Amino acid sequence: MDKQLEPNMHDEVQRYYGETLESSDDLKTTACCTATAPSDYIRKLLGDIHEEVSRRYYGCGLVLPEALEGLRILDLGCGAGQDVYLLSRLVGPHGHVTGVDMTPAQLRVANDHLDFHMERYGYSEPNVDFIEANIEELDLIGLPDASFDLIVSNCVVNLAVDKGAVLRSAQRLLKPGGEMYFSDIYADRRVPEELTTDPVLYGECLAGAMYWNDFLDMAREVGFAVPRLLTNSPVDVTDPELQQCVGELRFYSATYRLFSFSGAETGSENYGQMAIYQGSIPQHPDQIRLDKHFIFKAGEPTPICGNTSRLLKASRFAPFFHIIGDDSVHLGAFGIKEDQFPFTEDASEGEGGRCC
Ligand SMILES: C[S@@+](CC[C@H](N)C(=O)[O-])C[C@H]1O[C@@H](n2cnc3c(N)ncnc32)[C@H](O)[C@@H]1O
């Protein structure tokens, strides 16, 4: 297509989220729906979110990892602010959450209900702020290097035209040991060129979805050496016209964890190390799940690979684990592929989720 006639995808996305959609009922696929059922605790917190904010929630996953108290968090593409407000509660009055979005109509809803949430949480000072900006140009808004413990994003990176710029900035903005925890939409093959500028397919988070192996290459290239897949579930394209457009293409929502730590090895190697979760993270007394492979039951020694040992020691999880052994004697391959993207359905998903 003639460059002059090509739609500007940023304008299209702003129009879609600022004008076309009024609530998640207007969506044509399940891409912007959260398939993972929230825990009772999170359900309770959701009950305190203002109704207008909830109505304009278009996330595809839960971006509420464990051990959040006191953290500084950045939400890329925060929309009307539901995740910012949930995280505001979870970091507590000594933490801080910054939401960035480029669509003024979404940010207006977020800002309109700031006092409501701070009052409900009993905070004397707001612990959130919202910035209107393009997440592909985060270097322009003066956020210092290594200034966040955690970066979250919920169904947004697929909408970015320059996804590499988003991941590179995330890597720059994270403190050592920090984490990018984000839910997004992926495709099982590269999306054909002719579909990539369709405004509805793009706005619905399908046309900009990355082929998952391309995403993994990009994540490693910017320095997230060991992407960790946590959950995945298929997206239903419910609209018959869109179904016809996408043909054989299949889409999945997935939550990845990208930790920023040094010394990672390319493979998953066995040094005979074990990790024991102490059961001391609030709301997670029994177990925590790092990814598809590693579920740590409190008090039980769990075999870990060298990279998992390094990650646990470097991250905010360090005080909650006891690591046994070191990497002085190599015992061969650990026997998992850490970034595996099997995209079989998770038994734990697909039930009890919500579209708003
Ligand atoms: C699917 S909605 C998700 C919003 C929010 N995370 C939620 O869960 O409700 C996508 C959001 O990303 C924002 N967005 C898309 N591309 C962006 C970009 N390049 N820079 C900033 N925001 C962007 C849109 O304005 C929209 O609010």
pLDDT tens column, 153-199: 999 999 999 999 999 999 999 999 999 999 999 999 999 999 998 88
pLDDT tens column, 75-108: 999 999 999 999 999 999 999 999 999 999 999 9
Confidence of residue 16 (pLDDT cuts 50, 70, 90): confident
- Ligand 1 contact via 159 beta carbon (within 6 Å): yes
- Ligand 1 contact via 102 beta carbon (within 6 Å): yes
Please tell me the predicted confidence (pLDDT) of residue 356: 27
Mutate to test the pocket of ligand 1, among 86, 136, 156, 166 (most ligand atoms within 8 A of CB): 156
Residue 335 lies in a domain: no
Residue 31 lies in a domain: yes
Helix ranges (H only) for the chain are 9-15, 40-46, 51-55, 82-91, 104-112, 114-121, 163-173, 199-203, 212-221, 240-246, 306-314
Confidence of residue 349 (pLDDT cuts 50, 70, 90): very low
Distance 27 CA to ligand 1 centre (A): 14
Between 8 and 78, whose confidence is greater?
A: 78
pLDDT tens column, 275-309: 999 999 999 999 999 999 999 999 999 999 999 99
State percent of the chain over pLDDT 70. Answer: 89
Number of domains composing the chain:
2
Residue 151 lies in a domain: yes
- Ligand 1 contact via 79 beta carbon (within 6 Å): yes
Q: Kindly state whether residues 130 and 217 are assigned to the same domain.
A: yes
Residues 6+ apart with CB under 8 A from 12: 199, 202, 203
Q: Kindly state whether residues 229 and 302 are assigned to the same domain.
A: no
Residue 353 lies in a domain: no
Confidence of residue 351 (pLDDT cuts 50, 70, 90): very low
Please tell me the predicted confidence (pLDDT) of residue 234: 92
Confidence of residue 145 (pLDDT cuts 50, 70, 90): very high
Handedness of CA 67, 253, 339, 75 (dihedral sign): negative
Distance 50 CA to ligand 1 centre (A): 19
Distance 40 CA to ligand 1 centre (A): 27
Q: How far apart are CA 289 and CA 295, in angstroms?
A: 4
23 and 56 Cβ atoms separated by less than 8 Å: yes
Q: Which of 230, 259, 288 is the last residue of a domain?
A: 259
Please tell me the predicted confidence (pLDDT) of residue 340: 56
The domain that holds 250 is classified in CATH as: 3.40.50.150
Poorest-confidence range of 108-112, 229-233, 288-292, 333-337?
A: 333-337
Handedness of CA 33, 10, 63, 94 (dihedral sign): negative
Question: Where are any strands of DSSP class E within the chain?
Answer: 72-76, 96-101, 128-132, 148-154, 174-187, 210-211, 228-234, 251-259, 273-277, 287-289, 295-297, 301-304, 321-324
| Domain extent for 295 | 273-324
Other Cβ atoms closer than 10 A to 335: 11
Residue 267 lies in a domain: no
